[in-house]
Structure 1
């Protein structure tokens, strides 16, 4: 919790269940890129692509629905 880089987001999550806007954008963007990569590089069957898309959409919705941490001085 005292780590200079990882401590503040971990404290925000533990205390408030909050995720910063920057982390939300990064997570959703990277999940989208991973889905595109899966689709283009591996050409999975349609059902597999739908399942993975559903899982990523659900995870992304959860991430986006979390509150943002309060501004701290």
Structure 2
């Protein structure tokens, strides 16, 4: 069960429609990410759930209850945790992305190094998140 954060005021009119539209765009990007190996999925769905929380509780519940993506979304929301499988997939995807970048773009050593340092920083942040159920 998700923690109760008290009553949430939903924005009205155009603001609510904007959150709803952004949520659907993020779901679309998440679907593309599920089909393309180098594009992330879960982060787009996490953001979509946040948008739907401000516009459509029914759609938010649908994402959180999804059989495949729901557990990871709930783990992030309740514990700020990333499952081990997700950590491995994210780090492998970043390494593969760096390899494809190097092979396809043939950037200078400085550019490759800068991108590698950025990706390493992201990977370190990801692996230091707790696993679900292991939070203090």
Structure 1 residue 30 corresponds to structure 2 residue 93:
yes
Structure 1 residue 51 corresponds to structure 2 residue 105:
no
Uncovered stretches (5+) of structure 1, i.e. residues with no partner: none
When the two structures are superposed, what TM-score results if normalisation uses the length of structure 1?
0.90
Larger RCO of the pair (alpha carbons < 8 Å, separation 6+): 1
Q: Which has the larger radius of gyration?
A: 2
Name the counterpart of 1:42. 105
**Root-mean-square deviation (Å):** 1.2
Query: SS at the partner of 1:5?
Result: coil
Uncovered stretches (5+) of structure 2, i.e. residues with no partner: 1-63
When the two structures are superposed, what TM-score results if normalisation uses the length of structure 2?
0.50
- The structural deviation recorded for 1:62 is 0.4
- The structural deviation recorded for 1:54 is 1.0
